[in-house]
A and B are shown apart, each in its own frame.
Chain A
Amino acid sequence: MADTVLYPERELKVVGTQPVRPDGVPKVTGLAQYGADFTLPGMLWGRILRSPHAHARIRAINTKKAEALPGVKAVITAADLPEQKFDYVGPERVAINFWHMTRNILAREKVLYEGHALAAVAATSKSIAEEALKLIEVDYEVLPHVIDVDEAMQPDAPLLFEDMITRGVQPPPTKPSNVSKRIEFKLGDVDKGFAAADEIVEASYKTKPVHQGYIEPHACLARFDTDGQAEVWSSSQGHFVVRTFTSRLVGMKVGDLRCHAAEIGGAFGGKTVVYVEPIAVVLSKKSGHPVKIMMSREEVFKASGPTSGASMTIKLGVMRDGRIVAAEGIFKYQAGAFPTSPVMNGCMCSFAPYDIANVRTIGYDVVCNRPKTVAYRAPGSPISAFAAESTMDLAARRIGMDPIEFRLKNIARPGSQTVWGAKLAHAGFAETLHALQKHPGYKAPLGKNQGRGVAAGYWFNGGGESSATVHVNEDGTVVVAEGSPDIGGSRASIALMAAETLGIPYENVRPIVADTNSVGYTQATGGSRVTYATGMTVINACNKVIDEMCVRAAKLWKVERADVIWEDGHARPAGKRAGEFEPLSFKAIAAKRTATGGPITASAAMNAEGQAPGFSAQFCDVEVDPDTGYVKILRYVAAQDVGRAIHPGYCEGQIHGGVVQGIGWALNEEYIYDRNGRMENPGFLDYRIPVASDVPMIEAIMVEVPNPNHPYGVKGVAEANIVPPTATIANAVHSATGLRLTDLPMSPPKVLAALDSARKR
């Protein structure tokens, strides 16, 4: 269901329709090739040896026996990868340090979490590879470990890096700690704001790490030729990222590595880094055979990125009329075994939906003995939003105001100041809250043990670097080659925008995700950037094609280029030649390509700016079972400003999917560790993501406030939707029970314990 189109625009013919996606049929017939589905002649199976300890020094690794096993063709350790310089590179928000990255690929001095890779083998069969792992002897000195973020920050906590001095503190601390970084954002004067407030609400929260939970484990196939050139097929959100990271980690020239984007079986941020690719390349180099590696589900849980768990405190100062006059957030995020959690995003996003004069957010990036975190859908924002939006609810209750009204009263509008300095440049937040408020269910009566909750959430959305080439075929069909791996239907949205721009039928556009040698550099699929940035790049290339089609028509008519215009998929004579010739269709010009100058093809490349932020506001109704603590979701309504829905079906799908992941985060998902720092639930049976019978139909309201910086108004839709759910549900549970749950997940035992202790009081 679509709501309010605020800005009337030109009439669209193709954009906004819901055709079958171009890559659909192979995906329902089983022919689509995902990361694990490629094979090559002579291929070997690679397997990875992983640490059974949460924290240990590696005294020695002996691979002799494994190498001697018949069928084993190569065994590698960190000694087979070049050392990297210790240096943080790239923008602070997503800074990378290859010294850390290579140690995460294969451990060097120490293993830092259970599941940390430290050696790998390639063998002629899976079973031989498995056997060989057992023959690798590792001499460990087991060290004390630390899992919880608050414990990791204690002065006497076991240190992961004995020389880590907190960055961002002046003067720098003299003693090492597990705090990699402290950041602070400030706007106005919070102390003055709190002093002036009628009411002050403060609460502390904890969340657990949760896994992206894509159904396809990491997998790749690599071949390394004796001339030094290599090729990789892998399941990744960015095959250019695979190329950049793998070439650097292996120590080869970027131009010698060609990476192909396999179909990708879910990612949600978790496939923006490499795990298996460098290992497969080095095994291939050493063995002289192609090598395939597939992670098991257990490896995915133990050794690929969850997002952070956190410990947070929020303080809000409000006036009785509903105005928020001061907001403060302290966010401590687990980075996992190596620095860089998304805590900076958390600090930026937590209060971004609101116009508040005095804000301070402080973030700590903390290492601990668990897998290195990696992006997960709106990385960092859902975590801080759980704390901020739960506290918003407490504040609304304190002053007796409806939670949507309270948010509307404070909502950020174009020109509002953000805590990081920029001014909000786009509308859409208030419109989305209004759309939610108008939903008939919002005022529906509730039964016993039932409650309703509201929350909102912000995400930056992304622009960035993309490349595309449009080739016109002789029958008037076109191929669009672009560089963005397609996770959720982006080839469909790209084809829709290309067809709209060129004025040809959708079916005549064939989009492909080209390999790294066949299209220009393109950043990873992430940050809700593809339909915006790659889409805009494709539109630019299409406009160049149109210009060339006009040149060709001018040639055929023997007129000036200036006397040809493009309208409705046709070249028409214009100006002084108007009406002189019959219009030429796209197809007719394409057919004349040889006579008019040869192949018609155009490329575009850009670093797209002008993206508009995403905003989602949601309410849900829950029923809490007083006997078991089970929270049942009765109804879930999610409104989101999508800018413009290019393919409404896939747009809605993003909202449904993000909300259901958020429901899992709120109610069930968590990493559970034993005393030795070993994960106790590394499988889908015990790490329970929502199944079909756990959830109702999610009601998605697509609000369309177009982004004026994009030809079709695109804003990006994939992430804002996962920001509000945890707080939405916590706020509903509060309404149902009168209890404030501040610790995720709100699993039945925890809810029951809270109910029981309230009953005792």
Chain B
Amino acid sequence: MAKHHVTATLNGSPVEFLCETQQTLLEVLRDELNLTGTKEGCATGDCGACSVTVGGRLVCSCLVLGAEVEGKRIETIEGMASGTELHPLQQKFLEHAALQCGICTPGMLIAARSLLERKPDPTEEEVRYWLAGNLCRCTGYNKIVDAVLAAAGEMRRA
């Protein structure tokens, strides 16, 4: 069957790709566009490792088809830093040792950024509930929550 031709905006730049009907956005990013920063932990929408935003909305890219993003604006972990300057969340994750293996980190960062866009001053509980869809097996979440709260504080002061 012929592949779909899709045009979209990826991390601010125009992008086009061909994909099979059943290929997910996650597969398109990783296998067709070589952006492997977005991770696959389950491919069933349960772990959040594949978190990206589409049109500003936080989604699991394993639950979105590549063909669905025609004309949409997609943001992935590769677009989070501005040039060589890390996003405050990235910086705080490093400073707070909020990653051990780091496989959950891209998804956590994308999800946390979405939270702070909506709620610049979240409580610990709000952070925990917002990130409940992003599994981390290594850290026990302490330092992730700390890092998000610290980044929120810094972004409010900026």
Contacts and interface: CB of A to CB of B under 8 A. Distances in A.
Interface of A: 18, 20-21, 23-25, 27-34, 36-37, 39, 125-127, 212-217, 263-268, 294, 296-297, 487-489, 647, 649-650, 652-654, 656-661, 683-685, 689-695, 697-698
Nearest to B35: A30
A488 B101 contact: yes
Nearest to B44: A683
B152 interface: no
A34 B132 contact: no
Contacts of B139: 653, 656-657, 660
B28 interface: no
12 contacts: A28-B93, A126-B27, A127-B22, A216-B101, A297-B46, A653-B97, A653-B139, A653-B140, A653-B143, A692-B132, A693-B125, A697-B142
A656 B129 contact: no
Contacts of A652: 97, 142-143
B140 A659 contact: yes
B131 to A, nearest CB: 4
B66 interface: no
A661 B104 CA distance: 16
B100 A650 contact: yes
Contacts of A657: 100, 137-140
Contacts of B35: 30
Contacts of A661: 137, 140
Given A214-B137, A693-B128, A693-B132, A29 B99 contact: no
B86 A689 contact: no
A215 B137 contact: yes
Given A25-B94, A34-B39, A697 B145 contact: yes
Contacts of B99: 24, 27-28
B61 interface: no
A266 B137 contact: yes
B101 A685 contact: no
A684 B42 contact: yes
Given A25-B86, A29-B77, A265 B142 contact: no
B36 A30 contact: yes
Nearest to A721: B140
B49, B86, B137 interface centre (most CB from chain A within 10 Å) = B137
Contacts of A268: 137
A265 B103 contact: yes
B22, B47, B99, B138 interface centre (most CB from chain A within 10 Å) = B138
B122 to A, nearest CB: 12
B44 A24 contact: no
Which 9 A-B pairs give the minimum distances between C-beta atoms? A30-B37, A265-B103, A656-B140, A649-B97, A660-B140, A27-B102, A30-B77, A684-B46, A488-B100
Given A27-B105, A268-B137, A692-B132, 6 more contacts: A28-B77, A215-B103, A216-B103, A297-B43, A297-B47, A695-B140
Contacts of A690: 140-141
A217 B40 contact: yes
B46, B78, B127 interface centre (most CB from chain A within 10 Å) = B46
B74 interface: no
Interface of B: 20, 22, 27, 30-31, 34-44, 46-47, 49, 76-78, 80-81, 86, 90, 93-97, 99-106, 109, 124-125, 127-129, 131-145
Contacts of A32: 102
Given A24-B99, A27-B102, A488-B100, A653 B138 contact: yes
Given A215-B49, A296-B43, A656-B142, A691 B77 contact: no
B94 A685 contact: no
Contact of A28 (B27, B109, B144): B109
A297 B41 contact: yes
A698 B136 contact: no
A637 to B, nearest CB: 13
A691 B133 contact: yes
A216 B78 contact: no
A37 B36 contact: yes
A135 to B, nearest CB: 18
Given A25-B94, A215-B136, A649-B97, A265 B37 contact: no
A216 B81 contact: no
A18 B97 CA distance: 8
B27, B42, B124, B145 interface centre (most CB from chain A within 10 Å) = B42
Contact of A692 (B22, B42, B77, B127): B127
Contact of A695 (B93, B135, B141): B141
Contact of B47 (A28, A39, A658, A684): A684
A213 B104 CA distance: 12
Contact of B135 (A215, A267, A653): A215
B20 A127 contact: yes
A514 to B, nearest CB: 19
A216 B100 CA distance: 13
Contacts of A31: 37, 78
A18 B94 CA distance: 10
A692 B141 contact: yes
Contacts of B97: 18, 21, 489, 647, 649-650, 652-653
A658 B143 CA distance: 14
A293 B104 CA distance: 20
Contacts of B102: 23, 27-28, 32, 263, 265
A490 B126 CA distance: 32
B106 A30 contact: yes
A146 B131 CA distance: 39
B78 A265 contact: no
Contacts of B90: 28-29
Contacts of A33: 36
A562 B70 CA distance: 73
Contacts of B137: 212-215, 266, 268, 657, 661, 689
Contacts of B141: 656, 660, 690, 692, 695
Given A25-B94, A29-B90, A693-B128, A487 B81 contact: no
B22 to A, nearest CB: 7
A29 B86 CA distance: 8
Nearest to B136: A215
Nearest to A213: B137
Given A34-B103, A215-B41, A488-B101, A29 B138 contact: no
A489 B100 contact: yes
Contacts of A28: 77, 80, 86, 90, 93-94, 99, 102, 105-106, 109
